[in-house]
């Protein structure tokens, strides 16, 4: 498999998810990643259950973002620890860190100091908030940023409580932005010889992730609402109850709705405004009630069979275990077990969704074991 980043060395001082997720992606693309953990280890090593062996062993949380790395313990509060770090940085191309700004100041690991000592080093800093705002010294956690950014205000049922997304998606977004910025900085350095400092604030990654919701608020000045599983700008585009489960139906074009209308027995000549999406959005409740009256009288299989026969995007609402354990090879090929020499066992992981010349990008090293 091609290894586009095979000649680059990365030092990873980051913990938890956003930074480690970005360096895992770099490792999948071939970079050599050295993870430096504090004396107590990356906090996610203790985040569980689930753990590998009941209440002991590796945590699933640590495993999700640390494939492809080698790890060692470094106490950066000691001169010996800093000396080890600086020795590694002599040959490194990239440093990734997620210290709070005041911690970076105390440790002497600011961009200004690092750049003066290692002028060719690309530095990527994952922060809770950008360095040019009043909140810059606040710690950033995914859940807090979901609350701060408005994500929770648009997630959940319309009459329910604000709700976070089911995974730390802000961290994942920030990690992707970070990996993308690092690769751009390496290209820039190869062309110009100049190293760059990349800053990825979780708050701003979350705001960027609001996409059409933010665009709508900027256009109208109005606060977006919660729609549960429905879409604010497309109808029908949500889940519907059936006799034996739920299906998700996404009608992305007016032509698709014309076909669906035949199944509903709906005369669009009598409701011409529903021929266009804007009319269906306006009459959202009436359209949705009409569709659900039919789906509730049908099985999931019957609804999906109709949708598949008429090229209407649809799916049963699946559980995570069903997708991972029973749909591999049909819906995805993302499962990538990695051999661990220390234990002689295979470690189950999810590879990246990147295919390079038809091959899955996945670093061969399993997540490193804890060796304090």
| Residues with catalytic roles | 171
E strands within the chain?
Answer: 9-12, 32-37, 51-53, 56-59, 69-73, 94-97, 122-127, 197-201, 237-242, 245-250, 314-316, 338-340, 345-347, 355-356, 359-360
Distance (Å, whole) CA 20 – CA 323: 25
Sort residue 344 into left (φ over 0), alpha (ψ -120 to 50) or beta.
left
User: What are the beta bridge partners of residue 355?
Assistant: 360
Q: How many CB atoms lie within 10 A of CB 6?
A: 10
Which tokens hold the place of 277?
Answer: 């999406």
| Contact assessment for residue 62 and residue 51, using Cβ atoms and an 8 Å cutoff | no
- Reduced 3-state DSSP string for 48-100: CCCEEEECEEEEHHHHCCCCCEEEEECCCCCHHHHHHHHHHHCCCCEEEECCC
Q: What residues are paired with 250 via a beta bridge? A: 237
CA distance 111 to 214: 32
Write 269-277 long-range contacts (CB < 8 A, 24+). 277/233, 277/234, 277/235
**Residue 255 Cα distances to 97, 265, 306, 312, angstroms:** 49, 16, 15, 10
Give Dmax (Cα) for the chain.
80
| Cα–Cα distance measured from residue 95 to residue 125, given in angstroms and rounded to the nearest whole number | 8
CA-wise closest residue to 225 among 180, 160, 169: 160
Q: What angle do CA 217, 222, 228 make, to 5 degrees?
A: 80
């Amino acid at each position: 498999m091609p290894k586009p980043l095979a000649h680059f060395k990365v030092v990873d001082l980051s913990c938890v998810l956003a930074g480690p997720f970005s360096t895992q992606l770099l490792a999948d693309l071939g970079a050599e990643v050295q993870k430096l953990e504090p004396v107590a280890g990356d906090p996610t090593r203790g985040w569980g259950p689930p753990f590998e062996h009941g209440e002991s062993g590796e945590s699933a949380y640590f495993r999700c973002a640390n494939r492809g790395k080698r790890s060692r313990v470094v106490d950066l509060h000691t001169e010996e620890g800093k000396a080890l770090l600086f020795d590694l940085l002599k040959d490194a191309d990239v440093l990734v860190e997620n210290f709070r700004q005041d911690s970076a100041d105390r440790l002497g690991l600011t961009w200004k100091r690092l750049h003066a000592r290692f002028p060719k080093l690309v530095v990527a800093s994952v922060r809770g908030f950008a360095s040019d705002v009043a909140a810059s010294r606040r710690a950033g956690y995914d859940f807090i940023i979901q609350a701060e950014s408005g994500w929770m205000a648009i997630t959940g049922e319309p009459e329910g409580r604000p709700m976070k997304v089911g995974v730390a998606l802000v961290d994942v977004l920030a990690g992707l932005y970070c990996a993308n910025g690092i690769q751009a900085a390496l290209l820039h350095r190869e062309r110009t010889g100049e190293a760059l400092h990349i800053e990825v604030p979780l708050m701003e990654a979350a705001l960027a992730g609001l996409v059409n919701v933010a665009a709508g608020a900027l256009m109208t000045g109005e606060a977006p609402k919660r729609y549960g599983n429905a879409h604010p700008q497309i109808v029908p585009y949500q889940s519907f109850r059936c006799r034996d489960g739920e299906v998700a139906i996404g009608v992305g074009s007016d032509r698709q709705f014309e076909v669906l209308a035949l199944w509903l027995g709906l005369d669009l000549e009598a409701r011409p405004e529903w021929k266009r999406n804007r009319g269906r959005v306006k009459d959202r409740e009436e359209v949705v009630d009409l569709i659900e009256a039919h789906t509730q009288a049908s099985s999931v299989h019957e609804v999906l069979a109709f949708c598949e026969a008429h090229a209407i995007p649809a799916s049963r609402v699946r559980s995570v275990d069903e997708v991972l354990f029973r749909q591999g090879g049909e819906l995805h090929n993302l499962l990538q077990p990695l051999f661990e020499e220390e234990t002689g066992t295979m470690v189950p992981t999810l590879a990246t969704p990147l295919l390079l010349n038809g091959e899955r990008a996945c670093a061969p090293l399993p997540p490193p074991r804890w060796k304090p």
